[in-house]
Amino acid sequence: MNIRIKTDITSEVLSAKDLNPFIKYEDMGESEIAIIDDMITAVRAHFEQRTGLSFAERTYEIYFNETPYVIPVTPVISVDKVETIDYLGVKSELVLNSGYYKRGLYEVEIITGGKAISNPFVSFPERYQILVTCKAGYGHDDTETLPGDIAEAIKRQVFQWYENRDDFYEQKLLGSVDKIIKLHRTTWV
């Protein structure tokens, strides 16, 4: 499976202004705000990678080369397009509820009509790759808002990295933050 972000988030889930009372930095210069913004982005990206969650709305393209076709990011907002790709690389778009089916809320699975022959020495299974284009992320009308404990974990971790720059460069996580991230983990990395 390969995944790529087709359309990235338009704004961060938190800003330096949100962290001002928490960090209590005195220098309101652009350089300090830029450092805090960079740390927020780094923490969010790190947490998303560790959890399999999308903290803000994005469009993803996911290329599956074998079953099961389970979308690896959550919460899923919509499945916009499902295409099969044959051995020549020719794409064919499938239609929902006839060419493919969608099952699940958080772990959304795409089910296609491909058949597998039980004896691989007689013939090859009728398998193909699929390309799924979908949207996922918190804060959309079809999903809930970012959980409060995750927002709090971002603040704690940014504060830690702001106060201890070596931890930022080494990407060390606080133990309490790591526990929160483990509670929300949907993928095992």
The pLDDT tens digits along the chain (189 residues) read 899 999 999 889 998 888 877 777 666 678 888 888 999 999 999 999 999 999 999 999 999 988 889 999 999 999 999 999 888 889 999 999 988 999 988 789 999 875 443 444 444 445 578 999 999 999 888 888 999 999 999 999 999 888 888 777 777 888 899 999 998 887 544
**Which of the 8 DSSP states describes residue 12?**
-
Task: Supply the pLDDT for residue 123.
Answer: 43
Task: Supply the pLDDT for residue 119.
Answer: 41
The Cα–Cα gap between 75 and 168 comes to 28
CA dist list (Å): 132 to 51, 70, 136, 176: 21, 10, 12, 36
Task: Supply the pLDDT for residue 188.
Answer: 44
The Cα–Cα gap between 25 and 33 comes to 9
